[in-house]
Amino acid sequence: MSWVEDKVNNSPFLKAPRQAREQGVYPLFRPFETSGLHTTVNGKPITIFCSNDYLGLTNHPKVKEAAKAAVDRFACGMSSSRLQATATAHVEMEERLARWFGFEEALIFTTGYQAMVGTIMSLADQDTTLILDNLSHACILDGTFLAAGTPRQAPEVRFFNHNSSRSLERILKTRQRKNALVIFEGVYSLDGDMANIVEFVDVCERYEAVMLCDDAHGTGTLGKRGTGIIEHFGLEGRIPIVVSTFSKSFGAIGGLLLGSHGVVDLVKHTARSFMFSATLPVPVLAAASAVLDILESDGPALVEELHEKARYMRSRLTEIGFDLGISNTHIMPVMCRDFRKALFMHIALYENGVMMVPVVYPGVKEGEERLRLNITRGHTKQDMDKALDLLASYGEAFFVLSGEDLGPMESMQL
Ligand SMILES: Cc1ncc(COP(=O)(O)O)c(C=O)c1O
């Protein structure tokens, strides 16, 4: 047996998935038969509560029509990277996005993950300290680790306590390199809390640190027009670099960098994840562009509708007695604080046609296990009421509401 087979057989990462599969309670990779919040799996109707289609525009007829029309002109691939395979559609969309978000320039990547990795690697060098929130998304960590592993260019890497401006300030004061790049997220996707951005701006301005905000989950959900956390807190012009994605409110896939002409120019000529990976296909871009049309005309009403639904869900969940952790947005994790409780809740809900994926270690720390619950504009009151009834009864049955220990339940034990 090769060492690879040996590694596979003994991998600690596969222990829980294998046990879950054996017991028929494996919660991941369920194949949807259509897109949208209301789908089927093996013919069984399922309402999804862990989607990032926050404004419910992915399946808007105009969005799908735009993608179909683009297929005729540009097919589904450009057969190379942006350097030699840029379409007029990319250039036009970059100009529109820069205007809509209020930045000098925009750059479209193939995914948000690549946008973050590439931006960090283009900006960081041996004169830089990268300063990260300790709950940063994988794309921020991976960009940082790649930069840190680059010969003769490695930046210093420091972490501050989640959302703490005091911890951030301590690190800014004691950093070893002259240039500080502070990276944080507008909205944290697992906890649903917004960045403490007003205090961060103050601290960063005092220490002449540059801020880079990953607003993947704030785009389309925060600010009156939906442009994100900067608009929400009226901080226009104070955060020089933003990374975002089309894979959530923009109903498609694609990454986005917003910044000055100089920053975009540097990144487009140095970011390896941009230069050495294929161009975002135009039909996908056309879908995102149709979403931008809708946001330009109806953005404020759509964002308000999302917030109304999120307010309803939050007040009902709180009334029932659920712990929503530190969430203060439409992302409201149902904290179970136990691996089996999260898994059993997921299975019980799923059997009743409601899907909330369990998030467990290593996605979150042990003791912070939860169900992922994202409210979107596409959810109806009936969807939410059904989910609430199920959560209430199974929350009681599995002691999520009481917090009591689940105890030995051999028949249900993983
Ligand atoms: C905070 C954050 N940043 C970046 C990304 C990556 O975006 P994409 O799906 O476009 O690669 C995600 C998506 O999971 C995210 O949650």
Q: Average of pLDDT values for 51-65?
A: 98
Q: Are 388 and 317 in contact (CB under 8 A)?
A: yes
Alpha-carbon distance of 214 to 241, in angstroms, equals: 9
Q: Is the model more confident about 83 or about 411?
A: 83
Based on the domain organization, do 269 and 162 belong to the same domain? Answer: yes
Whether residue 110 has its Cβ less than 6 Å from ligand 1: no
Section 348-362 average pLDDT: 95
**How far apart are the CA of 216 and the centre of ligand 1, in A?**
6
In a domain, 286, yes or no: no
Task: Look at residue 215 in the predicted model and tell me its pLDDT.
Answer: 98
Do 195 and 336 lie in one domain? The reply is no
Q: What is the spatial distance between Cα 393 and Cα 164, in angstroms, rounded to a whole number?
A: 36
Q: 209 with 112, same domain?
A: yes
Domain that holds residue 322: 9-58+298-412
Would you say residue 186 lies in a domain? yes
Q: Is residue 1 part of a domain?
A: no
Q: 229 C-alpha vs ligand 1 centroid, how far in Å?
A: 16
Q: What's the pLDDT at 414?
A: 43
Q: pLDDT category, 24, cuts 50, 70, 90? A: confident
Contact 139 CB / ligand 1 (< 6 Å): yes
Cα of 83 from ligand 1 centre, angstroms = 23
Q: How far away, in angstroms, is 314 Cα from ligand 1 center? A: 24
Average pLDDT of 319-344? 97
Residue 410 has pLDDT above 80, yes or no: no
Mean pLDDT of the region 282-299: 98
> For residues 59 and 255, what is the distance between their CA atoms, to the nearest angstrom?
20
* Distance between Cα 340 and ligand 1 center (Å): 27
Cα-based angle 382, 386, 391 (whole degrees, multiple of 5): 145
pLDDT-based confidence at 408, cuts 50/70/90? confident
pLDDT for position 37: 96
- Reference 345, options 330, 359, 331, 332; nearest CA is 359
* Distance (Å) from CA 397 to ligand 1 centroid: 34
316: domain CATH number is: 3.90.1150.10
In the predicted structure, residue 54 carries a pLDDT above the cut 90: yes
Tell which residue, 139, 93, 145, 89, has the closest CA to residue 112: 139
Tally: H helices and E strands in the chain: 14, 13
Q: What is the mean pLDDT of residues 383-390?
A: 98
CATH of the domain at 183: 3.40.640.10
In a shared domain, residues 106 and 237: yes
310's tokens? 């999120």
Q: Is 216 in the pocket of ligand 1 (CB under 6 A)?
A: yes
Q: What is the mean pLDDT of residues 289-299?
A: 98
Mean pLDDT of 71-95: 97
The domain tally of the chain equals 2
Q: Using one digit for the tens of pLDDT, what is the confidence trace for 234-289? A: 999 999 999 999 999 999 999 999 999 999 999 999 999 999 999 999 999 999 99
Q: Tell me, in angstroms, the distance from the centre of ligand 1 to residue 245's CA.
A: 6
Are 129 and 288 contacting, i.e. CB atoms less than 8 angstroms apart?
A: no
- In a mutational test of the pocket of ligand 1, which residue from 116, 194, 247 has the highest number of ligand atoms less than 8 Å from its CB? 247
Phi, psi of 52 (to 5 degrees): -105, 15
Q: Is the pLDDT of residue 406 over 60?
A: yes
For residues 38 and 157, state if they share a domain: no
125 with 264, same domain: the answer is yes
Best substitution site from 52, 190, 194, 245 to test ligand 1's pocket, by max atoms within 8 Å of Cβ?
A: 245
Q: Which atom of ligand 1 is nearest to the CA of 246?
A: 10
Whether pLDDT at 103 is above 50:
yes
Tokens in use for 201? Answer: 């701006």
280, 307, 336 - which closes a domain: 280
Q: Are residues 214 and 324 in the same domain?
A: no
What is the whole-number distance in angstroms between the Cα of residue 217 and the centre of ligand 1?
A: 8
Mean pLDDT of 10-16: 91
Residue 111 Cβ contacting ligand 1 at under 6 Å: yes
Report pLDDT for 231.
98
**Index of the ligand 1 atom closest to the CA of residue 187:** 1
Asked whether the predicted pLDDT for residue 115 surpasses 80, the reply is yes
The pLDDT value given to residue 413: 45
Residues 46 and 115 in one domain: no
Segment 140-194, tens digit of pLDDT: 999 999 999 999 999 999 999 999 999 999 999 999 999 999 999 999 999 999 9
In percent, the amount of the chain with pLDDT more than 90 equals: 95
Taking the C-alpha atoms of residue 317 and residue 144, their distance in angstroms, rounded to an integer, is 37
CA–CA separation, 311 and 247 (whole Å):
24
pLDDT (average), residues 315-321: 98
CA atoms of 306 and 220, how far apart (whole Å): 10
Indicate the average pLDDT of the chain. Answer: 96
Sheet arrangement for strand 370-371: 334-335, 370-371, 358-359
**pTM for this prediction:** 0.96
Residues 239 and 376 in one domain: no
Bridge partners, 335 (sequence order): 370
Beta-sheet strands, E only, within 283-411: 334-335, 354-355, 358-359, 370-371
Nearest CA to ligand 1 atom 3: 216
